[in-house]
Structure 1
């Protein structure tokens, strides 16, 4: 069967290829290039040149007004790339930023994209602004930028940048040991270069090769060839020890002084070794997975299901692009508090392997229902995750996934499945996911509920059950039209014990169809309008949802994107009750009118249900998130924000809920590695306040030193004395982690 699919893909794509050029750089001795942000003629005299001579946005592969030249050299162990971006210095946007600061997308930046395997599975992205601030990411093929870029991917490399009289210059020094690529001393990689800049406030993107905006696969268009000969492949052997400690203090009564506990020290060790250039083994003992920065609190007052938070732990982010699934089959934060974990990653020319094990000391147990989810935390469990992907051709991939969680005192959750990705033509793509689960509940009191799911009690009482999930999507993109047809199927007893699934018992079809144009005018740079329709049935064949959306999106003056969505639920069934004509209007506005100011506004007005009431009823909804980012200087920025939500009774001035979360952040970036910042937040729903100061030094992706604290108020004291800035509980913490390479 695999052979037939392979032949079919070759036939369908035999007449379809992207343009490409070959570049053979000269080899130099180590130490010839000094990474100081200056393109010295003496140092770079033997470099080959690559011109960025295509404007791909807003122009469509036209000759750009801005001149950009890239330089390439290499040694036995490093690749050297320089950029000379010509511009008026007064028009260059840039700030000194910490590593992987997403604010960099509002700066002038240069990109390097590598597809080292030449198979379009992913692109490795290295980005720098004119001050040498770094952002690196892994790009996969996805429908949106949010899903496409994984900024938790890291490449240990050097950059330096300088603003000069006629533009800016950036130098990259990239160790071959830091990039994944096939075994062998002679390499042929796919690559291209990009530059993002601004012309009279309008964002401009330049590339070193043409870009087809109609293609359904963006990363497939990194096709220029870079040939490197007789390089040295160095195997990494790395140790990552850390030492951490914290002191906590709290009050027993409102007017007591804070009493501090003894210092709680902690230490652990990470170990990473390259088995060969394609494979690495990573082990972590007693890992410290405390986050440097607190999660942005989400408003969950009207959510009937658990909310998903992004993964911020570096260990679980490395290599996990291969286990990203639409159906929620894997969710790394379900591994809550591991005592020990191992991870094997291997990527060859035709296959990829990911194998993760962990002993989780505090297991998360989540049950998905038809309308609600149930969450508990339990005892120890042992976790396995095995993922294998095979490339039948550049345009055909098939994969397998197995996850297992075995609980200490009995019970288990096993999940098995397959997935596939097929580029059927220049404009057409098909993907699928199919999973089966086999479960036996532990006997535990982790979840307390009298609810039942398809005849099975939610209480954990040793029941056996199994389920399935299906996902199919056909996606088409042309110059004028963008469409997809999706079918999702979650059986009533589908559960992913190492995943994130919050609703099941649904058969769900979606049709999305939009028209898009690129006028490339200052006031109208992009326009799209279309519709999305959803219909959902349960396994008992009763209607769950009929929803139709009208969507309008424009890009206009002041680097502004505006999206309006009219979401009309003609019919919705929730907890067995039928509701009709639920309409909401959603506005999303993102704007970066200048280097000093960026704005993000989300506004929803309409009608929704009070989902957490005993008998849910309709109400008048108003929610908005307003997040401005103000750059006061190249090194100082502030970001106040507010998230507000209310649901008002239809027939009175009373509210089902009414509250907000206010947050304020200030950061001073001394250089690319060292910063100090303070975050404060006040939550009116819980009536709690916290403030978190932090000093951080982060010279590379793994080495870090920070010292900071958390100061909180406790809501139980509010009746005795209400004060916005009262501190009832405090924590001081520090951590030093240093990467040792052998």
Structure 2
């Protein structure tokens, strides 16, 4: 009897070991030849011979539970193209959330797609997704920085259709758009196949289970094997561009006469796969002006420069190669180059990114410890960025970054060393040290006042250093962080975006999470942190405690309640001294905030953030009472029309009286005809009212009332990310104490077109 029990136990253990080994073995992708029409119908014989898998795990918001719907994936390749078909069953096809949208604008809808780590080193992964209509969304996931970016746009084919039992989607991914190591043997890549099923909850359904206790996401991909004969080719794209624009501007306060301008530019963009692992992008005579307006931001009572995301394709392509803990490469600083060249690539454990570009002018931040400003030189500059990373193992990476900006009377050189160490599955340490050398034009300080003027008063070149240390512990139920940032008074990173110097900050925080799979809520988290900041001289700049409680629940809802208490110094009383102690007032600010978002139907998303409490009046250096209300709404009117509205209401009262009330509205109405074309109307309205009687400073240059209105009408037709056509009209105008009615100050009409020749 005992022998039988032992034998049975050994047999049970052996079967489980075999099953685990089978689960861990690579998924073999068959090589099948023959033409396939990408139309959303999986009716070619190749699909019947394809490898078939099912998505068996809900990995979010639950942990590896049984999915509420069935999803089948079919996969094969033919040496040149990877074909993937999804058959997504749905018990109620009328509830499928799918709309006609522009590329990368479908992330909240019913989606199917996959991740590919073509080097299988858990560093970078390509992501390809579409909604039920085949509208594309692609991105790069960077495990080194912990960020995802959908600014990467590749040329691939997809098609989808809703059926009586759900929907079907076909993907055709040309292997030439991927970076991978060629060879004569089967290649083993990391992969995950995913379906997003948004209903009351937004289910993320996968073919591989996820361990919440493992903070490394890409380490948990499954393996796929195949692509033995895959070749990349030269992947050469020549993209000539044409820009035709006409505009006019004026200053209504002084004259109603128009100054006219014309712009006709012919340029060329080049993309070339030098080797299977290394690619080159170049641009000649580009027009780098914005096609679409940035999302409007309110800058009143703000002592720091505003941040705007990069949108220009040349700088977005392979931008992840230049990322590190510090934002040392912020390409919006380069405004109007005549040329740009970029080389990026990976070889074994090495990755490299280099770009060079000139600029007709030179714009950079002048940072401080109580604020920052923007300086602009009318001198042409040359700009260089270099990023190298060595991945010693899946747990440890080191890298270097170098940037340079030079003009006739100015330069800034930056050199940095960074590393990431995955200590355990739960513990991650990131460290970066940065050095810089800078020289300003000797008379530049004369254009500024206060702290900025003092930071610019440098007769010779000067050097500075910065250090950033981040530790993260992340488990299923709790997380912990500890950070230290040190930017000394002479540190500058002018090609990057660094608003603070002469500032040393330490942060410690942690939180605990509860999960539920059978309630109206699926996750509750309580998180708090404490931070303190000093100048290089040890003077207190800020001390803050913050605690937040968040609840995620049905209808894809999230509710957060936060409380913040901090001691914060105001502006310097003597602007001709950089001293803080004895030269500033330490204010005690206490505030509460609430955030709520929900997607109750497929057609409606809304969110609201509000903060109430104390706020420093930086204009007059005293404490006031703030009320900020920031609602946001996305409303779909049918399958083609969408309205997006953001509003920012900000009110500050001091000594029981209003100081200012500001309203800013950004509204965008888009009609998406099909996958390729849309018509968009953008309206941005600003209204600021000030009570000048409540100001302590000279109000000669301050308007009691100022309003502005800007509009843009844009038509876009995109064959693919490189072949596209834009035509649009934009104008902006304002009124204030000196201009009694709204007067248009700027108008422009423009056309841009590009065509890609691919090889």
Does the pair score TM above 0.5?
yes
Q: Report the 3-state secondary structure (helix = DSSP H, G, I; strand = E; otherwise coil) of the residue aligned with 2:183.
A: coil
The structure-2 alpha-carbon separation of the partners of 1:253 and 1:338, relative to structure 1 and needing over 3 Å to count, comes to closer
Counterpart position of 2:648: 643
Shift, 1:49, TM fit:
0.7
Write out per-residue CA displacement over residues 456-511 of structure 1, whole angstroms, 9 at most, x where no aligned residue.
93346643211111011111011211111111111011100211111111221111
| d(CA) in 2 for partners of 1:631, 1:142 | 36
Find the aligned partners of 2:155 and 2:45 in 1 and give their Cα distance: 26
Judging changes above 3 Å, is the alpha-carbon distance between structure 1 residues 65 and 554 closer, same or farther for their aligned structure 2 residues? same
Gaps of 5+ in 1: 1-16
Please state if 1:678 is matched with 2:678: no
Aligned partners of 1:532, 1:252: CA distance in 2, in Å?
A: 48
Pair 1:24-2:43 in alignment: no
Distance 2:148 2:59 in 1: 19
| Candidates 37, 40, 61, aligned match of 1:37 | 40
* Counterpart Cα distance in 2 of 1:303 and 1:151: 29
Moved more, 187-196 or 39-48: 39-48
- Contact 2:364 2:495 survives alignment (8 Å): no
Closer, same or farther: CA 460–75 of 1 in aligned 2, 3 Å: farther
Counterpart Cα distance in 2 of 1:675 and 1:73:
34
Q: CA shift at 1:251, angstroms?
A: 5.8
Residue 132 of structure 2: aligned partner: 130
Residue 447 of structure 1 and its aligned partner are, at CA, apart by 6.4
Matched, 1:439 2:435: no
8 Å Cα contact 1:344/1:356 also seen in 2: yes
| Match in the other structure for 1:238 | 237
Cα distance in 2 for residues equivalent to 1:533 and 1:260:
53
Give the corresponding residue for 1:510. Answer: 507
Aligned position for 2:112: 110
CA distance in structure 2 between the partners assigned to 1:164 and 1:21 by the alignment? 34
Cα distance in 1, alignment partners of residues 409 and 259 from structure 2: 39
Q: 1:254: how far off? A: 9.0
Contact 1:155–1:179 (CA under 8 A) maintained in structure 2: no
Q: Is the 8 A contact 2:558 2:598 kept in 1?
A: yes
The 5 A counterparts of 1:52-451 are 52-87=55-90, 88-101=92-105, 104-141=106-143, 148-185=147-184, 186-199=186-199, 201-250=200-249, 261=260, 263-378=262-377, 379-407=379-407, 409-445=408-444, 448-451=447-450
| Separation (CA, whole Å) in 2 of partners of 1:704 and 1:26 | 35
- The CA distance in 2 between the partners of 1:574 and 1:249, in whole Å, is 39
Residue 722 of structure 1 is matched in structure 2 by 741
Q: Determine the C-alpha separation between the residues in 2 that align with 1:447 and 1:424.
A: 50
Q: Measured at CA, do residues 19 and 214 of structure 1 come closer, stay the same or move farther in structure 2, by a change above 3 Å?
A: farther
Separation in 2 of the partners of 1:260 and 1:172? 51
Say which of 594, 598, 604 aligns to 2:605. 598
Deviation at 1:221, TM superposition (A): 1.5
How has the CA–CA distance of structure 1 residues 86 and 187 changed in structure 2, closer, same or farther, with 3 Å as cutoff? same
Taking the aligned partners of 1:253 and 1:218, their CA distance within structure 2 comes to: 55
Tell me, in whole angstroms, the C-alpha distance in 1 between the residues paired with 2:412 and 2:299.
Answer: 27
Q: Describe the SS at the equivalent of 1:691.
A: strand
Task: Confirm whether residue 663 of structure 1 aligns to residue 682 of structure 2.
Answer: no
Contact 1:214-1:427 within 8 A present in 2 as well: yes
User: Which is worse superposed, 686-695 or 565-574?
Assistant: 565-574
**1:76 deviation in Å?**
2.3
Contact in 2 for aligned 1:411/1:443 (Cα 8 Å): no
SS at match of 1:458: helix
Question: Does the 8 Å contact 2:322/2:386 carry over to 1?
Answer: no
Aligned residue in 2 for 1:540:
537
User: Against the structure 1 CA distance between its residues 428 and 447, is the aligned structure 2 distance closer, same or farther, given a 3 Å change threshold?
Assistant: farther
The answer on whether the counterparts of 2:480 and 2:510 sit within 8 Å (CA) in structure 1 is yes
Aligned to 1:10: none
TM-superposed CA distance for 1:261, in Å, is 3.4
- Could you tell me how far 1:437 is from its partner in structure 2? 0.6
Cα pair 1:450 1:458 within 8 Å, conserved: no
**TM-score normalized by structure 1?**
0.92
Structure 1 residue 258 displacement after superposition: 8.1
Is residue 711 of structure 2 the alignment partner of residue 691 of structure 1? yes
Q: Write the distance in 2 (CA, Å) between the matches of 1:295 and 1:18.
A: 50
Gapped runs of 5+ residues in structure 2?
A: 1-20, 573-579, 689-705
In structure 2, what is the equivalent of residue 5 of structure 1?
none
Cα deviation digits, residues 233-289 of structure 1 (max 9, x gap): 211121111001111134676999986836421111111211101111221111111
Aligned in 2, Cα 1:428/1:605: closer, same or farther, shift over 3 Å? same
Which of 464, 471, 475 is 1:474 aligned to?
A: 471
Are the equivalent residues in 1 in contact too, given 2:32–2:46 (CA < 8 A)? no
Distance 1:463 1:260 in 2: 40
| 1:494 and 2:491 are equivalent in the alignment | yes
Following the alignment from structure 2 to structure 1, what is the Cα–Cα distance between the partners of residues 424 and 664?
47
Distance 1:721 1:658 in 2: 19
Paired position in structure 1 for 2:520: 523
Shift of the 507–721 alpha-carbon distance from structure 1 to 2, 3 Å rule, reads closer
| CA–CA distance in structure 1, aligned partners of residues 527 and 739 of structure 2 | 54
Give CA-to-partner distance per residue, 1:535-575, whole Å, 9 cap, x none: 11221112222110011111023211112221110454653
Shift of the 155–184 alpha-carbon distance from structure 1 to 2, 3 Å rule, reads farther
1:73 & 1:398 partners in 2: Cα distance? 36
Give, in angstroms, the shift of residue 18 of structure 1. Answer: 13
CA contact (8 A) 1:375 1:447 kept: no
Distance 1:110 1:441 in 2: 52
1:732 aligns with 2:745: no
Determine the structure 2 residue equivalent to 1:631.
636
Query: CA 1:275–1:447 in 2, change beyond 3 Å: closer, same or farther?
Result: farther
Q: Whole-Å Cα distance in 1 between the matches of residues 715 and 65 of structure 2?
A: 46
Query: Distance between the aligned counterparts of 1:623 and 1:339, measured in 2?
Result: 42
Equivalents in 2 of 1:120, 1:503: separation in Å? Answer: 33
> What secondary structure does 1:220 align onto?
helix
Task: Return the alpha-carbon distance in structure 1 between the equivalents of residues 152 and 225 of structure 2.
Answer: 22
After superposition, residues 569-584 of structure 1 pair within 5 angstroms as 569-570=566-567, 572=569, 574-575=571-572, 576=580, 577-584=584-591
Q: What's the counterpart of residue 4 of structure 1?
A: none
Q: Structure 1's 460 and 506: CA in aligned 2 closer, same or farther, altered over 3 A?
A: closer
Counterpart in 2 of 1:12?
Answer: none
- Alignment pair present for 1:709 and 2:709: no
SS at the partner of 2:24?
coil
TM normalised by structure 2 equals 0.90
